[in-house]
Structure 1
């Protein structure tokens, strides 16, 4: 099939970062980040991501990376042909993390559906919270926030390197909240942030 007739599809990979209300970040923040990519571009992007790892078969994980490595990762992501769509919710108290996640996920999925994403991969947590997320997806469909064809699945970062991108985006946002904005600034041209009030 030629490029001119190939179907254009968008997929998204989603990960989170959380700061609980406390002295370093009063009110706290729940960040849910999505990397939106034209599906046909994924293979080349995966090769670039693998080239960033320190060891063959390794993975990128923002919290484990040095500042110098974060500089390199942020620059690489900023150069990718993708959109980073983020929902950030506050306040986030320790007992209300799942509430914050629901609020952010509902807004994020709505925004992803608006731009034409039809398939989303979330980082899997465990069976019980994954099922909770799927119930929220059903609820969002019932509310008309997302279309019935909007598909949501789960994967582990070891098995799905595309999840490394939203992990880094969410990590950069968290770092900025805690006083180090340079990685977020490096990715600013690809990033759109939607603020959510957690009630």
Structure 2
């Protein structure tokens, strides 16, 4: 299932879009960190939000990608996100070993789904990686349902950034959180009013 649009206009159900950022084997963050960022928005705000982030791109038909942006551009992007009608939930897990990134993702994703469910989110769109890791994510979703961490009606799907501008926002947020852990906190601080962060231990 692919979620590439918001819910119907006026539907009070919340949706979330999720992306990740990873630090492994870094001298400035020796334990490593796996960060999942979820942007939560109401259906009525999704269209305007897409327009705002599209307007931030440098070329028509292009996309925002945090790792490709300059410091000045990141300042502008972080400020624009902070002004949007949305909230952000971040789950950061450590330690992270290069060979065990999927374990870190599972720990973080399970906690993130639980947090999203508790805030009323019922639809989640993850950035699609490839078919095999997407299936692993769906397997974890089913496990979370069996554990009672999320309700039966909680839906999870996938989209690619080229098709869904809402995914550009968690990409930027996750990048800002990673930058903060590497010693540059200004972008995360710029979004602090809309951001809630949770720490998990990677088991």
TM-score, length of structure 2 as denominator length: 0.94
Q: Is the 8 A contact 2:89 2:197 kept in 1?
A: yes
8 Å CA contact 1:27, 1:91 repeated in 2: yes
Deviation string 1:31-77 (CA, Å, 9 cap, x unpaired) is: 00000001111001111111100011000000000000000000000
From 103, 108, 113, the equivalent of 1:109 is: 113
Structure 2 unaligned blocks of 5 or more: 1-9
DSSP-derived class of the 2:92 partner: strand
Is residue 159 from structure 1 mapped to residue 177 from structure 2 by the alignment?
no
Q: Does the CA-based 8 Å contact 1:21-1:91 persist in structure 2? A: no
Name the counterpart of 2:92: 88
Distance 2:55 2:26 in 1: 37
Runs of 4+, deviation exceeding 2 Å: none
Aligned to 2:69: 65
Q: Distance in 1 between matches of 2:180 and 2:191?
A: 12
TM superposition shift of 1:23: 1.3
Partner Cα distance (1:40, 1:22) in 2: 41
- Output the CA distance in 2 between the equivalents of 1:197 and 1:117: 24
TM-score of the superposition, structure 1-length normalised? 0.96
1:171-182 alignment to 2 at 5 Å?
Answer: 171-182=175-186
- Alpha-carbon RMSD across the aligned residues, in angstroms, is 1.0
CA contact (8 A) 1:21 1:29 kept: no
Instruction: Give the aligned partner of residue 13 of structure 1.
Output: 17
Distance 1:100 1:40 in 2: 34
